[in-house]
C-alpha cells in the first residue's frame, strides 16, 4: 500500500485570477487568508499521507512471515480508498471545469474594460460584470470544496468498517505479536485524526472563500 493510497490532489487555485485588477484592503486580506488555508491543507495532506503510509509499513514489518490474517482487510481498505480517491478526482475535475469557464469570462471582462477605456457608462457596467464573474468563480470553488467534504464524509462509514476489520483481524490472529497489534491500533487512530484534520481544512478553505465572496460583494456595493 503506497503513499498514494492516502493521497488527494491539491487545490491549485490560490487566488481569484492572476490578472491586473485592483482590490480594496478587505479583498486583499481575504485573498491572503485563502492562500494560507490552502497551504495548511497542502501541508496536512502530505503529513497525514506520510504518517498513514508509515503506519501500514510498520504493520507489514511486524506481520510474521506466512501470516495472511490481515491481507484481506488491508486489501479491502486499499480498494475503498481508491474508490474514494476516484470520486474526489471527479469532484476536483468538475470544480476545475467550472473554474476554467469562470476564469475565461474574467479575462474577457478585463479585455472589455480596456476596450471601453474613456467610456464611463460602459466601464461601470464592465466592472459590475467583472465583479459578478469573480464572485461566481469563488462560489464555484466553494461548491467544489463542499462536494469534496461531502465525499469524504460519505465514505467515512465504509473506511471505518474497513479499519475496524483490520483491528479485529489482528486481535483474532493468534500469531500476531504485541508490536503488530500496537501498530494496527496506531494506524486506526491516525486514520481518524487524518480524516478529521483534512475535513476541517477543507471546511476552513470554504469558509475563507465565502468571506472573500462577501468582501467582493461589499466592494461592489460601495
Q: What is the pLDDT of residues 90-144, one digit of tens each?
A: 999 999 999 999 999 999 999 999 999 999 999 999 999 998 998 899 899 889 9
- Find cell 475503498 and name the residue: 80
What is the predicted pLDDT for the residue at 67? Answer: 92
What is the predicted pLDDT for the residue at 18? Answer: 40
d(CA 197, CA 146): 15
Please list, in sequence order, all residues whose beta carbon lies within 8 angstroms of the beta carbon of residue 94, skipping any fewer than 6 positions away: 144, 147
d(CA 204, CA 44): 13
What's the predicted TM-score (pTM) here? Answer: 0.77
Cell numbers representing residue 113 in the block: 474594460
Q: CB-side exposure of 184: number of CA atoms within 13 Å?
A: 26
Are 41 and 198 spatial neighbours (Cβ–Cβ below 8 Å)?
yes
Q: What is the pLDDT of residues 148-191, one digit of tens each?
A: 889 988 998 999 999 999 999 999 999 899 999 999 999 999 99
Kindly indicate the confidence band of residue 16, based on its pLDDT and cuts at 50, 70 and 90.
Answer: very low
What is the predicted pLDDT for the residue at 19? Answer: 42
Task: Give 30: exposed, middle or buried? Use CB within 10 Å, 0-12, 13-18, 19+.
Answer: buried
Amino acid at each position: 500500500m503506497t503513499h498514494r493510497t492516502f493521497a488527494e490532489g491539491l487545490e491549485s487555485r490560490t487566488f481569484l485570477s492572476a490578472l491586473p485588477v485592483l482590490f480594496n484592503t478587505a479583498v486583499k486580506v481575504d485573498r491572503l487568508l485563502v492562500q494560507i488555508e490552502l497551504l495548511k491543507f497542502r501541508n496536512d495532506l502530505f503529513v497525514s499521507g506520510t504518517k498513514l503510509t508509515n503506519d501500514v509499513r510498520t504493520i507489514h514489518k511486524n506481520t510474521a512471515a506466512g501470516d495472511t490474517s490481515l491481507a484481506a482487510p488491508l486489501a479491502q481498505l486499499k480498494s475503498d480508498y481508491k474508490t474514494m480517491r476516484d470520486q474526489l478526482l471527479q469532484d476536483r475535475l468538475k470544480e476545475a471545469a467550472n473554474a476554467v469557464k469562470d476564469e475565461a469570462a474574467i479575462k474577457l471582462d478585463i479585455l472589455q474594460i480596456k476596450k471601453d477605456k474613456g467610456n464611463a457608462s460602459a466601464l461601470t457596467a464592465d466592472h459590475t460584470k467583472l465583479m459578478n464573474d469573480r464572485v461566481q468563480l469563488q462560489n464555484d470553488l466553494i461548491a467544489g470544496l463542499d462536494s469534496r467534504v461531502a465525499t469524504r464524509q460519505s465514505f467515512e462509514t465504509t473506511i471505518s468498517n474497513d479499519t475496524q476489520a483490520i483491528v479485529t483481524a489482528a486481535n483474532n490472529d493468534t500469531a500476531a505479536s504485541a508490536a503488530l497489534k500496537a501498530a494496527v491500533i496506531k494506524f486506526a487512530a491516525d486514520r481518524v485524526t487524518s480524516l478529521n484534520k483534512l475535513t476541517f481544512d477543507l471546511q476552513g478553505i470554504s469558509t475563507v472563500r465565502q468571506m472573500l465572496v462577501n468582501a467582493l460583494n461589499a466592494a461592489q456595493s460601495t
